[in-house]
Amino acid sequence: MVVFERDVERWLAEDLGHHDVTNQLPGDTLGRLIAKEDGIVAGMDAVRAVFEYLGVGVDPGVADGDSIRAGDTVLTVEGPTREVLRGERIAVNLIGHASGIATRTRRAVNTAHEVDETVRIAGTRKTTPGLRSLEKLAIVAGGGDSHRLDLSHMVMVKDNHIAEMGLADAIAHFKARVSFATKIEVEIERPEDASTAAAAGADIIMFDNLAPAAIERGVAGLSAEVLTEASGGITLETIPEYAATGVDVISMGSLTHSAPALDFSFSTDANQARD
């Protein structure tokens, strides 16, 4: 993960405030980040960046995407006690949030693959402001697809565009304004519109808030060259129904906005610090 220095500075400023008295302790210490639940770990690069910015040595015990068990030490740090403690809460928050997303994503992927091993589970842009990179990489760590990272990565023709211009004209409007390498995805709400969108030049058809039976009808009328995506209110429980429709991708906002954090703890022991 690419963590820019300004991100770490922002996280530290948010937590430390203008005058951190709480962590004014002398000496050096060892610290361990320990999993309290089973799951899939993610966010290791972000955590490492925080401690390294503070001048603390870092020894990772796992990598993003690894399965972890309760009691596993995922990271060991060593350095000035003041700096170790300054990074503690940020590290726990980041890794807990990212690992929760990775764990939920892995569950979604495994559930989908019980029905169709080729279908991909993807995230959406329903991410936490300022944490999209962390959250998207957590999805990847869980075995999912990041989908578009921002609006520059792909054009999505949505219902508002279609209402303003009409389906075919909206697609033509955007095709005339993007690079040949930029894909165009079209969001449809009626299965019969799928073939119309494909004929107009859509690269990807998103079936939005449609029942599985309706999506299956829409997919059946399309060439295999057109990617298909199901989205809108899909849950872990309903994934099998959508995976059976023949779509290539199932996108889920709940991977990021509803994933519970995985529980971690952080402990220090000054007596274990090496000379």
Q: How is the chain split into domains, by residue range?
A: 5-101+260-272, 109-257
Task: Clarify whether 126 is annotated catalytic.
Answer: yes
**Residue 24: is its pLDDT beyond 90?**
no
Say what the pLDDT of residue 195 is: 94
Marked catalytic residue, from 126, 158, 175, 183: 126
Say what the pLDDT of residue 1 is: 47
Share the mean pLDDT of the chain.
93
Say what the pLDDT of residue 4 is: 66
Ramachandran bin of 106, using left for φ above 0, alpha for ψ from -120 to 50, beta for the remaining angles = alpha
**Residue 17: is its pLDDT beyond 50?**
yes
Handedness of CA 157, 162, 167, 170 (dihedral sign): negative
Same CATH fold assignment for domains 5-101+260-272 and 109-257: no
pLDDT tens for 95-130 read 999 999 999 999 999 999 999 999 999 999 999 999
Say what the pLDDT of residue 272 is: 53
- SS3 of the chain: the string is CCCCHHHHHHHHHHHHCCCCCCCCCCCEEEEEEEECCCEECCCHHHHHHHHHHCCCEEEECCCCCCEECCCCEEEEEEEEHHHHHHHHHHHHHHHHHHHHHHHHHHHHHHHHHCCCCCCEEECCCCCCCCCHHHHHHHHHHCCCECCCCCCCCCEEECHHHHHHHCHHHHHHHHHCCCCCCCCEEEEECCCCHHHHHHHCCCCEEEEECCCHHHHHHHHHCCCCCCEEEEECCCCCCCHHHHHCCCCCEEECCHHHHCCCCCCEEEEEEHHHCCC
DSSP 18: S
The arrangement of secondary structure in 5-101+260-272, i.e. its CATH architecture, is Alpha-Beta Complex (3.90)
Asked if residue 247 lies in contact with residue 119, where contact means CB atoms within 8 angstroms, the answer is yes
pLDDT tens for 174-196 read 988 888 888 999 999 999 999 99
Say what the pLDDT of residue 2 is: 58
109-257 under CATH 2.60.40.10, yes or no: no
Say what the pLDDT of residue 274 is: 47
pLDDT tens for 133-175 read 999 999 999 999 999 888 888 999 998 899 899 999 999 999 8
**Residue 271: is its pLDDT beyond 60?**
no
